[in-house]
Amino acid sequence: MTGPAERTEQVPGLADFAAHRPLLFSIAYEILGSVADAEDVLSESWLKWQDGDRSDVENPRAYLARIVTRQALNAARSASRRRETYVGPWLPEPLEEPSEDTGLDHVLTGEAVTTAMLLVLESLTPDERAVFVLREVFDFGYPEIADAVGKTQPTVRQIAHRARNHVRAHRTTAVADPTQAQAVVERFLLAAATGEVQTLMDLLAPGVVYLGDGGGVVAAARRPVEGADHVARMLIGLLKRASVESDVGMRMTTANGMPAVVVTIDGDLDTVMSVEVADGLVTAVYAVRNPEKLEGFRISSDRRDGSSS
């Protein structure tokens, strides 16, 4: 039987593509905010790489990044038009932390992949986002970026400057210590599960914001919910109503570089809530409920739990 390593050697171009796949997926996801769209981009990019003339390619990493960036830009322009008619708040698809157990193959960690940062990037133009991602997140040189986005180096430098200023003005300034954030979210989860309104409120910043993404497919708040009292009562109310007729399960994980709560209803994945913490308090809750956006997370969870065949 032929093993994975032997198959990689037998398929022309596969070794280079496989070696750089984590980076390529990360570029596509960072530009698109969608696991499914990023995977589609990689599939299209693989075909272009496999079918193209690679004889004079001296730097496979840069060449593959160019292919992926161009495919991602095309997808981003189409996605931006679809999002104009999206029902309720749009949130990026949750991305579970890579590990040996999940078998996930991306390199994104930390602030670059947080939901808050991806929402800031969403406010950039596709070109600004691609340039920012390649330069600030993955440290590509301006010549490589110019080639990837099809613009001159002076133009790319201007775009990078504009994008940096925009991100700097809108990014979250306080980044919590991961251990502290995890502890806060564990208490947040316990208070929500036990229905302790005041305890939950004490863990929420006064200006906390809850964003729910159901995409018009499942029930979700169609506007941001703001304020500790409103958010606490809404979360506890939702869990109480769900638990009347169903078995509600909750577990901690890490998604998009942030502590997250995975909610299951009768064993089925229902919601992934990424929780932002600053100064010891929860400042934002990003709840993705749209089933289409949870498919990638569901697959990675199955890998971790060993339930996939």
pLDDT above 90: residue 187: yes
pLDDT tens readout for residues 25-73:
999 999 999 999 999 999 999 999 999 888 889 999 999 999 999 999 9
Using only the alpha carbons of the chain, give its radius of gyration. Answer: 21
Rounded to an integer, the average pLDDT of 171-197 is: 87
**146 and 15 share one domain:** yes
Phi and psi at residue 185, in whole multiples of 5°?
-70, -30
Residues 129 and 52 in one domain: yes
| pLDDT tens string 119-149 | 999 999 999 999 999 999 999 999 999 999 9
Confidence label for 178 from pLDDT (cuts 50, 70 and 90): confident
pLDDT of residue 226: 98
Q: Does 184 share its domain with 163?
A: no
At 8, the pLDDT band (50, 70, 90 cuts) reads: low
User: Which of 170, 198, 217 is the last residue before a domain boundary?
Assistant: 170
241 and 146 within one domain:
no
The helix/strand/coil state of 280 is coil
Ranking 6-10, 28-32, 219-223, 258-262 by mean pLDDT, the lowest is 6-10
Whether the CB-CB separation of 300 and 291 falls below 8 Å is answered with: no
Which range marks the domain in which residue 13 is found? 4-170
Residues 6+ away with beta carbon under 8 Å from 133? 27, 30, 31, 121
Do both 189 and 116 map to the same domain?
A: no
**Same domain assignment for residues 118 and 28:** yes
Question: What distance lies between CA 5 and its chain's CA centroid?
Answer: 30
Does one domain contain both 195 and 166? Answer: no
Worst-scoring range by mean pLDDT, 29-43, 111-125, 171-185, 233-247?
A: 171-185
Percent of residues, the chain, with pLDDT higher than 70: 88
pLDDT at 175: 66
Q: Does 300 lie in the same domain as 159?
A: no
The predicted structure's pLDDT at residue 82:
83
Lowest-pLDDT range of 9-13, 112-116, 122-126? 9-13
User: What tokens were used for 64?
Assistant: 């593959």
The stretch 232-254 carries a mean pLDDT of 91
Q: What pLDDT band is residue 219 in, cutting at 50, 70 and 90?
A: confident
**Could you give the CA distance from residue 16 to residue 57 in angstroms, rounded to a whole number?**
11
Are residues 251 and 144 located together in one domain of the fold? no
Q: Which amino acid, residue 25?
A: F
CATH number at residue 224: 3.10.450.50
Choose one of 126, 142, 170: the last residue of a domain.
170
Report the DSSP pairing between strands 268-278 and 248-255: unpaired
Residue matched to tokens 């304020």: 227
Among 146, 170, 194, which residue terminates a domain? Answer: 170
Number of domains in the chain: 2
**What is the chain's length?**
309
When pLDDT is cut at 50, 70 and 90, the band that residue 296 belongs to is confident
Helix, strand, coil share (%) of the chain residues, nearest 5: 55, 15, 30
Residues 204 and 301 in one domain: yes
The per-residue pLDDT for 102 is 42
Residues 208 and 146 both lie in one domain: no
Res 189 pLDDT > 80: yes
Fill in the amino acid letter for 192: A
Enumerate helices (H) and strands (E) in the chain, giving the number of each: 12, 6
CATH number for the domain spanning 54: value is 1.20.140.160
Q: What is the pLDDT of residue 298?
A: 82
3-class SS of residue 124: coil
Claim to verify: residue 34 and residue 68 sit in the same structural domain:
yes
